[in-house]
Structure 1
């Protein structure tokens, strides 16, 4: 038969945290910086695009205004006609090929004949912001090869004016304006992003870094009171986090110091108990020999002495068992429950002086998912307590019943005895070590160990309310059905 060590998996080599290669990561400051740039860039886009579109509208509106002035000059000319020289100067001032005024009489100012087709028509009188942005995009990235036609009026009450002009001067002016606006926007964006980053760094990133550095330092020495954070007194969420962290670190430091003291005390008690158990074992051997002495006084005292020494030895053994290192991690597997319940009669410690009857009620197909050894130990503690109780207070029909049933994904185990029951004082501290015992010389560790083992296997244990007998209810995860 192979030993348990031979069945265990080979140890897995772990790399200390200090030797693990550091993965490149973007810190909080870097993320804040990138977020600031993204938000400022988005704001710049939302401002930049409408501004360029508005510049195009204003440029065309200036040409419409100049066209109105040219039309007034023609109206003031003798015969409402303009010479070729005046026409050239008016059209040069407007920057158009032709100006058309549709009033009572249609006035056309042009050097040559009007073009038969135009690339696009821009109506400034019904030009929404979406059309303005689309028009600006077209002018910059899809310039017209033929002239364009612009319709508008200088002010309310004026006659609408149409102008025909080349789009190249408009595009050149827009490109220059875009470059100037881009340079200005970049400077403003850099200043705004820097200020926002500094503000976020000062009021958010730096406090968070202090919290993280304090948590890291406290984790290195959690019992040192000097590592506890001192709240800065801020009246915001960061201040609340500092106060909560200080309270948590203080409570944890106190708890760890108390546990360290208890651990030291437990180690000392374990050493003392170990020595006492050896001494008491020797005394028990001597007491066994006294039972063979024919002196009546010795015959009367020897059984009591042997019983007292036996209780003292059991107390030391149970205390040592409870004071060992924490229970190992359970090695869970699915197994049938009926054989394990049947073994409890042999593990109960019953003898001729206490003929307890055991009864197991468990269907063969009931399985549980747990550590078999730990579950057996937990049940053995419950059964031994029941046997000891019925030995101390004999019952007409001493019986221990182990009954298992499956409901859904859980298995319920009922451990019932016909003993004298539990007094109210024992029920108050039932699963507390050294407090739940009801018999003389008992330690109360059996129920505490049983509760710990059941909890490690994701189960629960509780005492059912019964009139006389004692019944414990254990609930464990059921094994998967085949």
Structure 2
């Protein structure tokens, strides 16, 4: 129990109850001793008052009977011209402590009361106080501490019971308040975490946050959002696994189909038609590349791309080759602004895939009447390749997760893998693919490669 939040809260509540009880008990004892001494002074004052009137005599028996109510053994009344002494009980030869009520602070009364309770009441006290008796300056009483101790014990019992009741009631209210305001929501919070952890692929286990506006409510909402994100990632993982399984199943058949297409394309080179001779090399190159991709299963779900094999080649020529494969697909206007002498050091096939993915997206965004432009520049030790289109831009809600798998802009036919594949291939080179700008005037993606 001591290791749980509620158990610790209970222990702390008990500790604070004891501390609050002590804070109530200590000053209460000091006040009790002061009141007890003042009551003794008042009793003595009232007892000797009849005997302070000049010219009156009282029978000795009546005098002794009245003095027994003084609650003191000796009483001394100090006047300017004389001192009146009244002996009620035993005569004390030694004074152990003198207490001046007019000067003693509360902490002194508290210390005296504790000492009296703990060390017994065998001492003799001399108590001095002001008096209301006419023509008298002060009144003093001498008494045994045992009388004070007996009354202090009675007062202490009442104070302990009262302090215990108040402290326990306060502690109970504090405990219940903290339990229902803090502990219970935190316990629900932790149970929800453990429940979701047992099967994070079950959407019904996602925490339904409360409408609380405090920190716990904020934590519930953040946990719920995190669980939803994790659930989405796991669903995405399932899709990737399913995609990898599907690709692995069709890989062998696809490779055989492409091999047959390769044999047929080789025969096209023997054709006398000039247009066939012009297009045949492109067709053969495209089929060879497709066979290579199918052989190594170069799809996102189960792709194992080989490390980049770097070579130095003309970037402008590569761009013309990629643009040629896009001819006739859209009515856009394409401009290759890369200088003819621009060289790139990269894996040519992988850079081909990177730019092809970006260029295909740009062409689809530009539409039938749009413009697509490709530029390249050297920025310090980085080669930057910009692919720009004049399309409507990318929605702000998609920009943060644009490079995640299966995230598409809503155009039909898109798999949502092109940008993810492009970025992974660029990062394998030590570069990156980033969204440079996007708005109503168009979108610009930048590929960076080490120069």
| TM bin (shorter chain) | 0.5 to 0.7
The question of 1:134 aligning with 2:111 is answered: yes
Which residue is equivalent to 2:74?
Answer: 98
Contact kept? 1:270, 1:320, Cα under 8 Å? no
Gaps of 5+ in 2: 323-335, 347-378, 409-417, 438-445
Q: 1:299 to 1:472 in 2, by over 3 A?
A: closer
1:325–1:397: structure 2 CA closer, same or farther, 3 Å change rule?
closer
Which secondary structure state, in structure 1, belongs to the residue aligned with residue 142 of structure 2? strand
Residue 387 and residue 27 in structure 1: after superposition, are their counterparts in 2 closer, same or farther (change >3 A)? Answer: farther
SS of the residue aligned with 2:383?
A: strand
* CA–CA distance in structure 1, aligned partners of residues 133 and 156 of structure 2: 30
- The alignment status of 1:47 with 2:19, answered yes or no, reads no
TM-score by length of 2: 0.65
| Alignment partners' CA distance in 2, 1:72 and 1:145 | 29
SS in 1 for 2:3: coil
Equivalent of residue 51 in structure 2, options 74, 80, 83: 74
Task: State the 1:267 CA deviation.
Answer: 3.9
> Aligned partners of 2:128 and 2:429: how far apart in 1?
89
Q: CA-atom RMSD, angstroms?
A: 4.7
| Distance across 1 between alignment mates of 2:209 and 2:130 | 67
CA contact 2:77–2:84 (8 Å) conserved in 1: yes
Whether 1:416 aligns to 2:383 is: yes
Q: Following the alignment from structure 1 to structure 2, what is the Cα–Cα distance between the partners of residues 80 and 320?
A: 128
**Residue 376 (structure 2) pairs with residue 399 (structure 1):** no
2:353 aligned partner: none
CA contact (8 A) 2:45 2:131 kept: yes
Q: In the TM superposition, what are the counterparts of 1:135-174 in structure 2 within 5 Å? A: 135-142=112-119, 146-153=123-130, 159-174=137-152
Describe the superposition over 1:238-282 as per-residue Cα deviations: whole angstroms up to 9, x where unpaired.
555555555554565456445534543454345435642453245
CA distance in 2, matches of 1:422, 1:47: 78
Change (3 A) 1:426 1:274: farther
For the 8 Å contact 2:121–2:149, the answer to whether it is kept is no
Whole-angstrom distance in 2 between the partners of 1:473 and 1:82 = 124
Aligned-pair distance for 1:135?
A: 2.2
- Per-residue CA distance 1:57-108 (angstroms, 9 max, x = gap): 111111100111122132248656884x556545542232211111243111
- Counterpart for residue 372 of structure 2: none
Structure 1: distance between partners of 2:246 and 2:59 = 120
Q: Distance in 2 between matches of 1:348 and 1:386?
A: 17
The answer to whether structure 1 residue 107 and structure 2 residue 84 are counterparts is yes
Change (3 A) 1:445 1:79: closer
* Greater mean deviation of Cα atoms: 142-151 or 245-254: 245-254
Distance 1:229 1:55, change over 3 A: same
Match of 1:14 in 2: none
Answer whether contact 2:422 2:433 (CA < 8 A) is retained.
no
Aligned length: 374
Query: Is the Cα–Cα contact under 8 Å of residues 153 and 159 in structure 1 kept in the other structure?
Result: yes
Partner of 2:97: 120
Asked if structure 1 preserves the Cα contact closer than 8 Å seen for 2:433 and 2:447, the reply is no
TM-score, normalization: structure 1? 0.61
Pairing of 1:353-432 with structure 2 (within 5 A): 354=313, 388-389=318-319, 397-400=341-344, 414-416=381-383, 421-425=385-389, 432=403
Query: 189, 192, 200: which one pairs with 1:211?
Result: 189
Is it true that 1:177 corresponds to 2:155 in the alignment?
yes
Q: Residue 479 of structure 1 corresponds to which residue in structure 2?
A: none
Q: CA deviation at 1:204?
A: 3.2
Alpha carbons 2:426, 2:447 under 8 Å: kept: no
The 1:193/1:398 distance shift into structure 2, 3 A limit, reads closer
